[in-house]
Chain A
Amino acid sequence: MSSSRWIRFILVAFGMILLQVLVVDQIEISRFLHPQIYFMVLLGLPVNMKHWNTYIIAFVLGISIDTFTNTPGLNAFVCTLMAFLRYAYLANFTDKDWLSSNIQPSLYNADTINYLVSLVVFALFFHMFYFLVEQLSFRRFDETLLKTLYSTSLSILLILLLQFTFSPRVKNE
Protein backbone atom coordinates (compact mmCIF):
# COMPACT_ATOMS: atom_id res chain seq x y z
CA MET A 1 0.00 0.00 0.00
CA SER A 2 1.21 3.52 -0.71
CA SER A 3 1.67 5.79 2.30
CA SER A 4 -1.45 7.83 1.51
CA ARG A 5 -3.49 4.62 1.41
CA TRP A 6 -1.95 3.56 4.73
CA ILE A 7 -2.92 6.88 6.34
CA ARG A 8 -6.44 6.59 4.95
CA PHE A 9 -6.64 3.01 6.19
CA ILE A 10 -5.50 3.94 9.71
CA LEU A 11 -8.03 6.79 9.88
CA VAL A 12 -10.84 4.49 8.70
CA ALA A 13 -9.79 1.83 11.24
CA PHE A 14 -9.80 4.40 14.07
CA GLY A 15 -13.19 5.66 12.97
CA MET A 16 -14.61 2.14 12.85
CA ILE A 17 -13.25 1.27 16.32
CA LEU A 18 -14.86 4.38 17.82
CA LEU A 19 -18.11 3.76 15.91
CA GLN A 20 -18.18 0.18 17.19
CA VAL A 21 -17.53 0.92 20.87
CA LEU A 22 -19.28 4.28 21.25
CA VAL A 23 -22.33 3.72 19.04
CA VAL A 24 -22.97 0.12 17.96
CA ASP A 25 -22.03 -1.48 21.31
CA GLN A 26 -24.46 0.88 23.01
CA ILE A 27 -27.36 -0.73 21.10
CA GLU A 28 -28.58 -2.90 23.95
CA ILE A 29 -32.07 -3.83 22.82
CA SER A 30 -31.86 -7.58 23.20
CA ARG A 31 -29.34 -10.17 24.29
CA PHE A 32 -29.62 -11.66 20.78
CA LEU A 33 -28.44 -8.47 19.12
CA HIS A 34 -24.75 -7.86 19.48
CA PRO A 35 -23.69 -6.68 16.02
CA GLN A 36 -20.04 -6.21 15.10
CA ILE A 37 -19.30 -3.96 12.16
CA TYR A 38 -15.63 -3.06 12.61
CA PHE A 39 -14.47 -6.26 10.87
CA MET A 40 -15.34 -4.68 7.53
CA VAL A 41 -11.94 -2.98 7.85
CA LEU A 42 -10.38 -6.44 7.36
CA LEU A 43 -12.54 -7.16 4.31
CA GLY A 44 -11.32 -3.94 2.74
CA LEU A 45 -7.58 -4.74 2.98
CA PRO A 46 -5.78 -5.04 -0.38
CA VAL A 47 -6.21 -8.60 -1.68
CA ASN A 48 -2.51 -8.95 -2.50
CA MET A 49 -1.26 -7.84 0.92
CA LYS A 50 1.30 -10.15 2.55
CA HIS A 51 -0.48 -12.67 4.77
CA TRP A 52 1.50 -11.92 7.92
CA ASN A 53 0.80 -8.17 7.54
CA THR A 54 -2.90 -8.92 7.50
CA TYR A 55 -2.65 -11.16 10.57
CA ILE A 56 -0.88 -8.48 12.57
CA ILE A 57 -3.33 -5.78 11.46
CA ALA A 58 -6.22 -8.09 12.42
CA PHE A 59 -4.68 -8.83 15.82
CA VAL A 60 -4.06 -5.15 16.61
CA LEU A 61 -7.57 -4.22 15.46
CA GLY A 62 -9.07 -6.95 17.63
CA ILE A 63 -7.06 -6.15 20.75
CA SER A 64 -7.96 -2.45 20.36
CA ILE A 65 -11.66 -3.34 20.47
CA ASP A 66 -10.98 -5.72 23.39
CA THR A 67 -9.47 -2.87 25.37
CA PHE A 68 -12.80 -1.08 25.21
CA THR A 69 -15.05 -4.06 25.83
CA ASN A 70 -13.12 -5.76 28.67
CA THR A 71 -12.73 -8.95 26.69
CA PRO A 72 -8.92 -9.19 26.28
CA GLY A 73 -8.15 -11.68 23.53
CA LEU A 74 -11.69 -12.34 22.32
CA ASN A 75 -11.83 -9.95 19.37
CA ALA A 76 -8.10 -10.40 18.72
CA PHE A 77 -8.57 -14.16 18.40
CA VAL A 78 -11.60 -13.96 16.14
CA CYS A 79 -10.13 -11.21 13.93
CA THR A 80 -6.86 -13.10 13.38
CA LEU A 81 -8.80 -16.26 12.60
CA MET A 82 -10.99 -14.39 10.11
CA ALA A 83 -7.91 -12.85 8.45
CA PHE A 84 -6.60 -16.40 7.98
CA LEU A 85 -9.92 -17.69 6.62
CA ARG A 86 -10.22 -14.68 4.31
CA TYR A 87 -7.18 -15.93 2.37
CA ALA A 88 -8.66 -19.41 2.13
CA TYR A 89 -11.85 -17.83 0.77
CA LEU A 90 -10.03 -15.56 -1.68
CA ALA A 91 -7.83 -18.40 -2.94
CA ASN A 92 -10.79 -20.64 -3.65
CA PHE A 93 -13.52 -18.31 -4.81
CA THR A 94 -11.83 -15.55 -6.78
CA ASP A 95 -9.72 -15.56 -9.94
CA LYS A 96 -5.93 -15.39 -9.90
CA ASP A 97 -5.56 -12.09 -11.81
CA TRP A 98 -7.75 -10.30 -9.35
CA LEU A 99 -5.81 -11.79 -6.44
CA SER A 100 -2.51 -10.30 -7.63
CA SER A 101 -3.99 -6.79 -7.91
CA ASN A 102 -3.92 -4.33 -5.01
CA ILE A 103 -7.69 -3.83 -5.01
CA GLN A 104 -9.28 -2.96 -1.68
CA PRO A 105 -12.68 -4.63 -2.05
CA SER A 106 -15.75 -2.52 -1.32
CA LEU A 107 -19.29 -2.32 -2.64
CA TYR A 108 -18.18 -0.14 -5.55
CA ASN A 109 -14.87 -1.54 -6.75
CA ALA A 110 -15.50 -5.27 -6.70
CA ASP A 111 -18.12 -7.40 -8.40
CA THR A 112 -21.17 -6.42 -6.33
CA ILE A 113 -22.66 -9.89 -6.03
CA ASN A 114 -19.28 -11.42 -5.12
CA TYR A 115 -18.66 -8.70 -2.56
CA LEU A 116 -22.08 -9.15 -0.98
CA VAL A 117 -21.63 -12.93 -0.79
CA SER A 118 -18.21 -12.58 0.83
CA LEU A 119 -19.62 -9.99 3.25
CA VAL A 120 -22.44 -12.32 4.32
CA VAL A 121 -20.12 -15.35 4.68
CA PHE A 122 -17.54 -13.29 6.57
CA ALA A 123 -20.13 -11.74 8.89
CA LEU A 124 -21.78 -15.10 9.61
CA PHE A 125 -18.51 -16.80 10.52
CA PHE A 126 -17.25 -13.78 12.44
CA HIS A 127 -20.32 -13.67 14.68
CA MET A 128 -20.45 -17.44 15.06
CA PHE A 129 -16.81 -17.61 16.24
CA TYR A 130 -17.30 -14.49 18.35
CA PHE A 131 -20.17 -15.98 20.34
CA LEU A 132 -18.56 -19.42 20.59
CA VAL A 133 -15.25 -18.06 21.89
CA GLU A 134 -17.08 -15.63 24.20
CA GLN A 135 -18.83 -18.59 25.79
CA LEU A 136 -15.88 -21.00 25.39
CA SER A 137 -18.31 -23.92 25.15
CA PHE A 138 -21.00 -25.44 22.92
CA ARG A 139 -23.56 -25.27 25.69
CA ARG A 140 -26.85 -23.73 24.53
CA PHE A 141 -25.73 -23.89 20.93
CA ASP A 142 -29.26 -23.05 19.72
CA GLU A 143 -29.01 -19.71 21.48
CA THR A 144 -25.59 -19.06 19.95
CA LEU A 145 -27.06 -19.77 16.50
CA LEU A 146 -29.94 -17.36 17.04
CA LYS A 147 -27.56 -14.69 18.32
CA THR A 148 -25.38 -15.24 15.24
CA LEU A 149 -28.29 -14.93 12.82
CA TYR A 150 -29.83 -11.82 14.37
CA SER A 151 -26.53 -10.04 14.96
CA THR A 152 -25.23 -10.91 11.48
CA SER A 153 -28.38 -9.53 9.84
CA LEU A 154 -28.17 -6.24 11.72
CA SER A 155 -24.45 -5.87 11.17
CA ILE A 156 -24.77 -6.45 7.38
CA LEU A 157 -27.50 -3.82 7.27
CA LEU A 158 -25.31 -1.34 9.16
CA ILE A 159 -22.23 -2.08 7.04
CA LEU A 160 -24.14 -1.60 3.77
CA LEU A 161 -25.60 1.63 5.12
CA LEU A 162 -22.09 2.82 5.98
CA GLN A 163 -20.72 1.85 2.57
CA PHE A 164 -23.59 3.57 0.74
CA THR A 165 -22.94 6.69 2.77
CA PHE A 166 -19.16 6.92 2.99
CA SER A 167 -17.42 4.72 0.39
CA PRO A 168 -15.90 6.70 -2.47
CA ARG A 169 -17.62 5.70 -5.72
CA VAL A 170 -14.35 5.56 -7.69
CA LYS A 171 -12.30 2.66 -8.89
CA ASN A 172 -9.08 1.86 -7.05
CA GLU A 173 -5.78 3.03 -8.45
Chain B
Amino acid sequence: MQNLLRFLITYYHFLIFLALEFLALTALVKFNNYHQSIFFTTSNAVSGTIYQWQDDLTSYINLREENTNLLIENQTLRQRDSLINTLSSSNDSTIVEDSASRLVYSYRTARVINNSIFKRRNFFTINKGKNQGISKNMGVITPKGIAGKIINTGDNYALAMSVLHEDFVITPKINGRVIYGGMGWEGDRADELKINKVNAHYEIEKGDSVFTTSHSHFFPENIMIGTVKRVQQTDANYQELWIGLSNKIGQLGGVYVVKHHYIEELIELENSEDDE
Protein backbone atom coordinates (compact mmCIF):
# COMPACT_ATOMS: atom_id res chain seq x y z
CA MET B 1 0.00 0.00 0.00
CA GLN B 2 2.79 2.35 0.97
CA ASN B 3 4.62 1.51 -2.22
CA LEU B 4 1.52 2.24 -4.23
CA LEU B 5 1.09 5.60 -2.49
CA ARG B 6 4.73 6.44 -3.09
CA PHE B 7 4.32 5.50 -6.73
CA LEU B 8 1.23 7.70 -7.08
CA ILE B 9 2.93 10.64 -5.38
CA THR B 10 6.06 10.31 -7.52
CA TYR B 11 4.30 9.97 -10.83
CA TYR B 12 1.08 11.93 -10.32
CA HIS B 13 2.02 14.43 -13.04
CA PHE B 14 2.39 11.65 -15.53
CA LEU B 15 -0.77 9.86 -14.35
CA ILE B 16 -2.81 13.06 -14.78
CA PHE B 17 -1.35 13.38 -18.26
CA LEU B 18 -2.35 9.80 -19.12
CA ALA B 19 -5.85 10.26 -17.69
CA LEU B 20 -6.44 13.42 -19.76
CA GLU B 21 -5.16 11.76 -22.93
CA PHE B 22 -7.42 8.78 -22.29
CA LEU B 23 -10.39 11.11 -21.81
CA ALA B 24 -9.63 12.96 -25.05
CA LEU B 25 -9.20 9.76 -27.03
CA THR B 26 -12.46 8.35 -25.67
CA ALA B 27 -14.31 11.51 -26.72
CA LEU B 28 -12.69 11.33 -30.15
CA VAL B 29 -13.58 7.69 -30.77
CA LYS B 30 -17.11 8.08 -29.38
CA PHE B 31 -17.85 11.09 -31.54
CA ASN B 32 -17.09 9.10 -34.65
CA ASN B 33 -20.07 6.92 -33.81
CA TYR B 34 -22.39 9.89 -33.24
CA HIS B 35 -23.67 8.66 -29.89
CA GLN B 36 -22.15 11.72 -28.28
CA SER B 37 -23.86 14.35 -26.18
CA ILE B 38 -24.39 17.75 -27.74
CA PHE B 39 -22.15 19.43 -25.22
CA PHE B 40 -18.89 19.48 -27.16
CA THR B 41 -20.32 20.40 -30.55
CA THR B 42 -21.49 23.59 -32.20
CA SER B 43 -25.11 22.63 -31.53
CA ASN B 44 -24.70 23.79 -27.92
CA ALA B 45 -25.89 27.21 -26.81
CA VAL B 46 -22.51 28.93 -26.34
CA SER B 47 -20.72 28.15 -29.57
CA GLY B 48 -24.00 28.25 -31.50
CA THR B 49 -24.66 31.79 -30.28
CA ILE B 50 -21.11 32.93 -31.09
CA TYR B 51 -21.39 31.57 -34.62
CA GLN B 52 -24.82 33.22 -34.91
CA TRP B 53 -23.19 36.59 -34.10
CA GLN B 54 -20.54 35.97 -36.71
CA ASP B 55 -23.20 35.06 -39.29
CA ASP B 56 -25.18 38.21 -38.42
CA LEU B 57 -22.05 40.20 -39.20
CA THR B 58 -20.97 38.46 -42.38
CA SER B 59 -24.14 37.10 -43.99
CA TYR B 60 -24.65 40.24 -46.10
CA ILE B 61 -21.59 39.31 -48.18
CA ASN B 62 -23.46 36.56 -50.02
CA LEU B 63 -26.81 38.33 -50.22
CA ARG B 64 -26.58 38.99 -53.95
CA GLU B 65 -25.98 35.34 -54.76
CA GLU B 66 -28.67 34.16 -52.35
CA ASN B 67 -31.14 36.56 -53.96
CA THR B 68 -30.34 35.18 -57.39
CA ASN B 69 -30.84 31.64 -56.11
CA LEU B 70 -34.20 32.56 -54.62
CA LEU B 71 -35.33 34.20 -57.87
CA ILE B 72 -34.39 31.10 -59.85
CA GLU B 73 -36.17 28.90 -57.33
CA ASN B 74 -39.28 31.09 -57.45
CA GLN B 75 -39.31 30.84 -61.21
CA THR B 76 -39.04 27.06 -61.10
CA LEU B 77 -41.78 26.82 -58.49
CA ARG B 78 -44.10 29.06 -60.52
CA GLN B 79 -43.58 26.87 -63.55
CA ARG B 80 -44.25 23.77 -61.52
CA ASP B 81 -47.17 25.26 -59.65
CA SER B 82 -49.84 23.97 -61.97
CA LEU B 83 -48.46 20.44 -61.78
CA ILE B 84 -48.36 20.12 -58.04
CA ASN B 85 -51.35 18.31 -56.59
CA THR B 86 -51.61 19.75 -53.16
CA LEU B 87 -49.55 22.39 -51.52
CA SER B 88 -50.59 23.92 -48.28
CA SER B 89 -48.46 26.28 -46.28
CA SER B 90 -48.25 27.41 -42.70
CA ASN B 91 -45.79 29.95 -41.30
CA ASP B 92 -42.31 28.99 -42.43
CA SER B 93 -42.95 25.35 -43.18
CA THR B 94 -44.53 23.96 -46.31
CA ILE B 95 -46.12 20.56 -46.46
CA VAL B 96 -45.96 18.46 -49.59
CA GLU B 97 -48.17 15.40 -49.87
CA ASP B 98 -47.14 12.49 -52.02
CA SER B 99 -49.22 10.93 -54.76
CA ALA B 100 -50.98 8.64 -52.31
CA SER B 101 -52.17 11.77 -50.46
CA ARG B 102 -50.29 10.80 -47.35
CA LEU B 103 -48.09 13.32 -45.64
CA VAL B 104 -44.49 12.20 -46.13
CA TYR B 105 -42.16 15.19 -46.26
CA SER B 106 -42.36 18.65 -44.74
CA TYR B 107 -39.81 21.43 -45.08
CA ARG B 108 -38.45 24.02 -42.70
CA THR B 109 -36.18 26.93 -43.54
CA ALA B 110 -32.92 27.53 -41.67
CA ARG B 111 -29.59 29.32 -42.07
CA VAL B 112 -26.14 27.77 -42.04
CA ILE B 113 -24.13 29.72 -39.48
CA ASN B 114 -20.90 27.72 -39.48
CA ASN B 115 -19.41 25.44 -42.08
CA SER B 116 -16.19 23.68 -43.06
CA ILE B 117 -15.13 21.96 -46.28
CA PHE B 118 -11.45 21.04 -46.01
CA LYS B 119 -11.37 18.75 -43.00
CA ARG B 120 -11.56 14.97 -43.16
CA ARG B 121 -15.00 15.10 -41.58
CA ASN B 122 -16.97 18.19 -42.37
CA PHE B 123 -20.02 19.49 -40.54
CA PHE B 124 -22.18 22.58 -40.63
CA THR B 125 -24.34 24.19 -37.96
CA ILE B 126 -27.82 25.58 -38.59
CA ASN B 127 -29.64 28.18 -36.52
CA LYS B 128 -32.63 25.99 -35.64
CA GLY B 129 -32.86 23.14 -33.17
CA LYS B 130 -35.23 20.99 -31.11
CA ASN B 131 -37.39 23.98 -30.15
CA GLN B 132 -38.05 24.65 -33.83
CA GLY B 133 -38.88 21.02 -34.59
CA ILE B 134 -35.52 19.91 -35.95
CA SER B 135 -34.49 16.38 -35.06
CA LYS B 136 -31.88 13.79 -35.97
CA ASN B 137 -31.95 12.11 -39.39
CA MET B 138 -33.52 15.00 -41.26
CA GLY B 139 -32.03 15.86 -44.65
CA VAL B 140 -30.71 19.31 -45.51
CA ILE B 141 -31.15 20.61 -49.06
CA THR B 142 -30.97 23.87 -50.97
CA PRO B 143 -32.69 24.81 -54.21
CA LYS B 144 -29.51 23.61 -55.97
CA GLY B 145 -29.32 20.17 -54.41
CA ILE B 146 -28.48 18.10 -51.34
CA ALA B 147 -26.21 19.47 -48.60
CA GLY B 148 -26.17 17.06 -45.64
CA LYS B 149 -28.17 15.46 -42.86
CA ILE B 150 -28.83 16.39 -39.24
CA ILE B 151 -26.91 14.24 -36.76
CA ASN B 152 -27.30 16.17 -33.54
CA THR B 153 -29.65 18.79 -32.13
CA GLY B 154 -29.39 21.35 -29.36
CA ASP B 155 -32.29 23.49 -28.15
CA ASN B 156 -31.83 26.21 -30.76
CA TYR B 157 -29.06 24.92 -33.02
CA ALA B 158 -28.45 21.71 -34.88
CA LEU B 159 -25.38 20.02 -36.29
CA ALA B 160 -25.44 18.46 -39.73
CA MET B 161 -23.01 16.04 -41.34
CA SER B 162 -22.02 17.61 -44.64
CA VAL B 163 -21.99 15.58 -47.87
CA LEU B 164 -18.25 16.28 -47.60
CA HIS B 165 -17.85 13.79 -44.76
CA GLU B 166 -16.14 10.45 -45.20
CA ASP B 167 -19.11 8.63 -43.61
CA PHE B 168 -21.76 10.26 -45.79
CA VAL B 169 -23.03 7.67 -48.25
CA ILE B 170 -26.04 7.97 -50.54
CA THR B 171 -27.59 5.82 -53.24
CA PRO B 172 -28.01 7.92 -56.40
CA LYS B 173 -29.83 7.48 -59.64
CA ILE B 174 -28.49 8.33 -63.08
CA ASN B 175 -30.66 8.29 -66.22
CA GLY B 176 -33.49 6.84 -64.16
CA ARG B 177 -31.40 3.87 -63.03
CA VAL B 178 -30.54 3.33 -59.37
CA ILE B 179 -26.77 2.99 -58.91
CA TYR B 180 -25.77 0.74 -56.01
CA GLY B 181 -22.29 0.68 -54.58
CA GLY B 182 -22.57 3.84 -52.54
CA MET B 183 -21.61 7.33 -53.50
CA GLY B 184 -19.39 9.22 -51.09
CA TRP B 185 -16.66 11.76 -50.56
CA GLU B 186 -13.02 10.82 -51.11
CA GLY B 187 -11.65 13.70 -49.05
CA ASP B 188 -9.93 15.41 -51.96
CA ARG B 189 -11.95 18.07 -53.69
CA ALA B 190 -14.73 20.03 -52.01
CA ASP B 191 -16.89 19.91 -55.15
CA GLU B 192 -17.01 16.26 -56.12
CA LEU B 193 -18.19 12.86 -54.89
CA LYS B 194 -17.20 9.48 -56.23
CA ILE B 195 -18.90 6.15 -56.99
CA ASN B 196 -16.37 3.35 -57.00
CA LYS B 197 -18.05 0.32 -58.54
CA VAL B 198 -20.62 0.89 -61.22
CA ASN B 199 -21.59 -1.87 -63.62
CA ALA B 200 -19.60 -1.26 -66.82
CA HIS B 201 -22.63 -2.05 -68.97
CA TYR B 202 -24.53 1.01 -67.78
CA GLU B 203 -24.20 3.71 -70.38
CA ILE B 204 -23.23 6.78 -68.43
CA GLU B 205 -21.73 9.85 -70.01
CA LYS B 206 -20.16 13.06 -68.84
CA GLY B 207 -22.86 15.62 -68.14
CA ASP B 208 -25.58 13.14 -67.07
CA SER B 209 -27.59 14.40 -64.09
CA VAL B 210 -27.47 12.58 -60.75
CA PHE B 211 -30.53 12.57 -58.46
CA THR B 212 -31.58 11.17 -55.11
CA THR B 213 -33.70 8.01 -55.00
CA SER B 214 -36.51 6.81 -52.80
CA HIS B 215 -33.93 4.45 -51.20
CA SER B 216 -32.62 7.30 -49.09
CA HIS B 217 -35.04 8.28 -46.34
CA PHE B 218 -33.34 11.57 -45.62
CA PHE B 219 -34.12 13.20 -48.94
CA PRO B 220 -37.22 13.16 -51.14
CA GLU B 221 -36.80 11.46 -54.49
CA ASN B 222 -35.42 13.39 -57.48
CA ILE B 223 -33.49 16.04 -55.60
CA MET B 224 -30.43 17.08 -57.61
CA ILE B 225 -27.06 15.85 -56.40
CA GLY B 226 -24.91 16.94 -59.31
CA THR B 227 -23.71 15.93 -62.76
CA VAL B 228 -21.26 13.28 -63.94
CA LYS B 229 -17.84 14.90 -64.37
CA ARG B 230 -15.69 11.97 -65.36
CA VAL B 231 -16.17 8.28 -66.19
CA GLN B 232 -13.29 5.84 -66.00
CA GLN B 233 -13.36 2.16 -66.91
CA THR B 234 -11.49 0.22 -64.17
CA ASP B 235 -11.80 -3.29 -65.61
CA ALA B 236 -14.11 -5.29 -67.85
CA ASN B 237 -16.90 -5.29 -65.25
CA TYR B 238 -16.73 -1.97 -63.48
CA GLN B 239 -16.36 1.73 -64.02
CA GLU B 240 -15.69 4.63 -61.62
CA LEU B 241 -17.68 7.85 -61.67
CA TRP B 242 -16.81 11.30 -60.39
CA ILE B 243 -19.83 13.48 -59.67
CA GLY B 244 -19.56 17.27 -59.61
CA LEU B 245 -21.81 18.56 -56.82
CA SER B 246 -24.50 21.00 -57.93
CA ASN B 247 -24.30 22.73 -54.55
CA LYS B 248 -21.34 24.85 -53.54
CA ILE B 249 -21.04 23.43 -50.03
CA GLY B 250 -18.61 26.16 -48.94
CA GLN B 251 -21.22 28.83 -49.68
CA LEU B 252 -24.28 27.41 -47.95
CA GLY B 253 -26.58 30.14 -46.63
CA GLY B 254 -30.32 29.56 -46.54
CA VAL B 255 -31.28 25.85 -46.51
CA TYR B 256 -34.35 23.66 -46.18
CA VAL B 257 -34.48 20.96 -43.55
CA VAL B 258 -36.55 18.03 -44.80
CA LYS B 259 -38.57 15.97 -42.37
CA HIS B 260 -39.62 12.47 -43.34
CA HIS B 261 -42.66 11.75 -41.18
CA TYR B 262 -42.16 8.00 -41.02
CA ILE B 263 -38.39 7.82 -40.73
CA GLU B 264 -38.34 6.33 -37.22
CA GLU B 265 -40.71 3.60 -38.30
CA LEU B 266 -38.61 2.91 -41.39
CA ILE B 267 -35.33 2.78 -39.48
CA GLU B 268 -36.86 0.54 -36.81
CA LEU B 269 -38.20 -1.78 -39.48
CA GLU B 270 -34.84 -1.96 -41.28
CA ASN B 271 -32.99 -2.59 -38.02
CA SER B 272 -35.36 -5.39 -37.06
CA GLU B 273 -34.67 -7.00 -40.43
CA ASP B 274 -30.94 -6.79 -39.73
CA ASP B 275 -31.41 -8.53 -36.39
CA GLU B 276 -33.11 -11.52 -37.85
Contact = CB atoms under 8 A, between A and B. Distances in A.
A84 interface: yes
Nearest to B152: A70
B122 to A, nearest CB: 9
A117 to B, nearest CB: 24
A70 B118 contact: no
B36 A72 contact: yes
B46 A62 contact: no
Among B17, B23, B42, chain A packs the most CB atoms within 10 A around the CB of B17
Contacts of A55: 13, 16-17, 20
B21 A70 contact: no
B188 A73 contact: no
B118 A72 contact: no
A171 interface: no
B118 A30 contact: yes
Contact of A28 (B21, B41, B116, B159): B116
B250 interface: yes
Contact of B21 (A21, A25, A30, A81): A81
Interface string B22-33: 011111111100
Nearest to B27: A73
Contacts of B213: none
Contacts of A77: 21, 24-25, 28
B94 to A, nearest CB: 29
A156 interface: no
Contacts of A66: 27, 40
Contacts of B30: 72-73
B233 interface: no
Interface residues of B, number: 39
A45 interface: no
Given A31-B188, A31-B190, A76 B27 contact: yes
Interface in A8-28: 18, 21-22, 25, 28
A50 B12 CA distance: 11
Interface residues of A, number: 37
Nearest to B189: A31
Contact of A59 (B20, B29, B36, B120): B20
Nearest to A58: B20
Contacts of B47: 21, 67-68
Contacts of A63: 24, 27, 40
B230 interface: no
A80 B250 contact: no
B119 A62 contact: no
Contacts of A71: 28, 31, 119, 121
Nearest to A23: B54
A80 B24 contact: yes
Contacts of A25: 116
B118 A31 contact: yes
5 contacts: A33-B118, A69-B116, A73-B25, A73-B30, A134-B119
Interface of A: 18, 21-22, 25, 28, 30-31, 33-34, 50-52, 55-56, 58-59, 62-63, 66-74, 76-77, 80-81, 83-84, 133-136
In the complex, the 9 A-B pairs of residues with the closest C-beta atoms, listed nearest first: A73-B28, A73-B27, A77-B24, A72-B40, A51-B13, A76-B24, A31-B118, A72-B27, A73-B24
Interface of B: 12-13, 16-17, 20-21, 23-31, 36, 39-42, 44, 46-47, 50-51, 54, 114, 116-121, 123, 159, 187-188, 190, 250
Given A28-B118, A69-B116, 7 more contacts: A52-B16, A63-B24, A68-B51, A71-B28, A71-B121, A74-B24, A83-B17
